[in-house]
C-alpha cells in the first residue's frame, strides 16, 4: 500500500535518530534472557536501513547544497558504524565478551553522527536551505525505507558495503 501523505525527509531521518536513541537506552537497562541481544539486533537493523537511505538517496541529493566535507564525514562515520554492526550481527551476547562494549561504542559513534547532522549549520540545516525538492525526496526515502525494512526482515541485515574504507583482513 503506497503512502500518499508527503513526508519531510529530514523529519523522517530525525525520527530514525530518536528511535535508535531509545533502543540504545533500552539496551543499557535491559535484563533477562536474550533481551540485550534482541535489542542489539533491532539497533543493527534500524541503523543499516538508515545508513542505506542516507547513502543511496539523501546524501547524493544534498551534493552542492551541503558542504562536501560534511557529506564525506558522514560516509566515513557510516563505514565505522557498519563495521561495528557487522561485528554485533556476527556475535552472540552470551559468548562474546565484548558484545556490550561493541554496542556501547556504536551508540557513542551514532550519537556523534546525529549531532553532526542535526546541529545548527549541520547537514540537515544546510539541506533545508538548499535547492532540494524536499517533498519528492521524502517520498523517495519513505518508499525505499519500506522496501529495505521488508527485505532486511526477510533476509537479515546484509554484509556491510564500505564506501570509504578498503576491506581489511586481520
- The pLDDT value given to residue 58: 97
The C-alpha cell that represents 141 in the structure block: 526515502
Establish if 40 belongs to a structural domain. yes
- The pLDDT value given to residue 160: 86
- Residue pair 105/40 in contact (Cβ under 8 Å)? The answer is no
Separation CA 141–CA 129 (nearest Å):
19
Establish if 100 belongs to a structural domain. yes
Establish if 4 belongs to a structural domain. no
Establish if 130 belongs to a structural domain. yes
Establish if 1 belongs to a structural domain. no
Separation CA 137–CA 142 (nearest Å):
9
Structural domain for 47, as ranges = 9-155
* DSSP letter, residue 66: B
Over the stretch 75-85, which tens digit does the pLDDT of each residue have?
Answer: 999 999 999 99
The domain total for the chain is 1
Establish if 163 belongs to a structural domain. no
Q: Is residue 170 helix, strand or coil?
A: coil
- The pLDDT value given to residue 3: 44
Establish if 125 belongs to a structural domain. yes
Please list the ranges in the chain whose pLDDT falls under 50: 1-4, 169-170
Amino acid at each position: 500500500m503506497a503512502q500518499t501523505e508527503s513526508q519531510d525527509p529530514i523529519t523522517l531521518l530525525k525520527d530514525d535518530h530518536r528511535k535508535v536513541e531509545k533502543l540504545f537506552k533500552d539496551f543499557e537497562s535491559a535484563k533477562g534472557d536474550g533481551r540485550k541481544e534482541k535489542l542489539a539486533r533491532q539497533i543493527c537493523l534500524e541503523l543499516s536501513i538508515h545508513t542505506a537511505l542516507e547513502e543511496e538517496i539523501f546524501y547524493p541529493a544534498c551534493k552542492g547544497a551541503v558542504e562536501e566535507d560534511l557529506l564525506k564525514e558522514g560516509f566515513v562515520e557510516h563505514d565505522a558504524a557498519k563495521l561495528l554492526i557487522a561485528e554485533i550481527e556476527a556475535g552472540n551476547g552470551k559468548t562474546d565478551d565484548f558484545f556490550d562494549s561493541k554496542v556501547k561504542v556504536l551508540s557513542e559513534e551514532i550519537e556523534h553522527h546525529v549531532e553532526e547532522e542535526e546541529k545548527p549549520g549541520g547537514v540537515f540545516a544546510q539541506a533545508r536551505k538548499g535547492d532540494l525538492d524536499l517533498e519528492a525526496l521524502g517520498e523517495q526515502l519513505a518508499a525505499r525505507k519500506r522496501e529495505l525494512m521488508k527485505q532486511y526482515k526477510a533476509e537479515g541485515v546484509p554484509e556491510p558495503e564500505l564506501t570509504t574504507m578498503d576491506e581489511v583482513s586481520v
